[in-house]
Amino acid sequence: MRILLIGPPGAGKGTQAVRLAAHLSIQHISTGDLFREHIGQGTDLGQNAHTHIHAGLLVPDEVTIGMINERLARPDTERGFLLDGFPRNCVQARALDGILADSDSKLDAVLDLEIPEDQVVGRISGRRLCRQNHEHIFHVDHSPPEVAGVCDLCGGGLYQREDDREATVRQRLEVYRTETAPVVGHYRAQGVATTIPAHGQVQDVLNRALDAIGRGQADAAGTSS
Ligand code: AMP
């Protein structure tokens, strides 16, 4: 299965992406995580990306598309993938159309997570990530770790992303409105987009997403590995 997850900052994309990919037994590919890995390793790509991420802006398309092209060419995506955070504008969406056409494949679903803007800042300002594994995500109020500042799953230290500070979040929201929201229309025209209300408990949102994919299809994908 090939799935895209789109949504504004704070919609819970990362949290849902990890769970959906595990349920469907497909690769979770987050462009944000790939950039953070590059930044951590101090690569040229990471240094270039850091300036843009720090400002709450998109990393230039040629860098992002090149990175995702290379990632999707790896054999571990043959059974499918869940893209979390890509595409983020219409140029990237058209590039992905081309990558998929070249491999004679198509998307099964595009999930558009929807959350009222007034909830975004609160959701993001309480978010904490594990230094050892960025897929381990907590929230100081909604899903706090048992010991403050320590990951329940691996004992890693928790930290706040620097682009999760309020001023940067507002810039990221503006970028979402102007550049990313139109991507949903691109996929609506292809008949594959579904909007999912992202409020409420994590499990409820996951259930809505699985319903949108088609539970039978989703369960079959998860058990065929
Ligand atoms: P995320 O972890 O998805 O919230 O992404 C964090 C930041 O990485 C974004 O605010 C952007 O600066 C950058 N980023 C992630 N994905 C993309 C993309 N597809 N295109 C451009 N920049 C991206």
Categorize the per-residue pLDDT at 220 as very low, low, confident or very high, splitting at 50, 70 and 90. Answer: low
Does residue 218 belong to any structural domain of this protein? yes
Does residue 16 belong to any structural domain of this protein? yes
pLDDT of amino acid 222: 61
CATH number for the domain spanning 17: value is: 3.40.50.300
Does residue 168 belong to any structural domain of this protein? no
Catalytic entry in 2, 88, 123, 128: 88
For residue 168 and ligand 1, the question of a CB distance below 6 A is answered with no
For residue 180 and ligand 1, the question of a CB distance below 6 A is answered with no
What is the average pLDDT score of the chain? 92
**Can you give the pTM of this predicted structure?**
0.89
pLDDT digits (tens, 9 = 90+) for 113-124: 999 888 888 888
Does residue 206 belong to any structural domain of this protein? yes
Does residue 184 belong to any structural domain of this protein? yes
Residue 4 carries which side chain, given as an amino acid letter? L
Does residue 127 belong to any structural domain of this protein? no
- pLDDT mean over 23-51: 95
pLDDT digits (tens, 9 = 90+) for 26-37: 999 999 999 999
pLDDT digits (tens, 9 = 90+) for 156-201: 999 998 889 888 889 999 999 999 999 999 999 999 999 999 998 8
Written as six digits, the tokens of 26 are: 């497909």
pLDDT of amino acid 141: 87
* Tally of domains in the chain: 1
* Domain limits for position 220: 2-26+79-116+177-224
Written as six digits, the tokens of 80 are: 């499918």
Which residues, 6+ apart, have CB-to-CB distance to 216 below 8 Å?
Answer: none
- 225 pLDDT above the threshold of 50: no
Does residue 123 belong to any structural domain of this protein? no
pLDDT digits (tens, 9 = 90+) for 86-108: 999 999 999 999 999 999 999 99
Does residue 109 belong to any structural domain of this protein? yes
pLDDT of amino acid 221: 65
Active site residue 88: yes
pLDDT of amino acid 215: 63
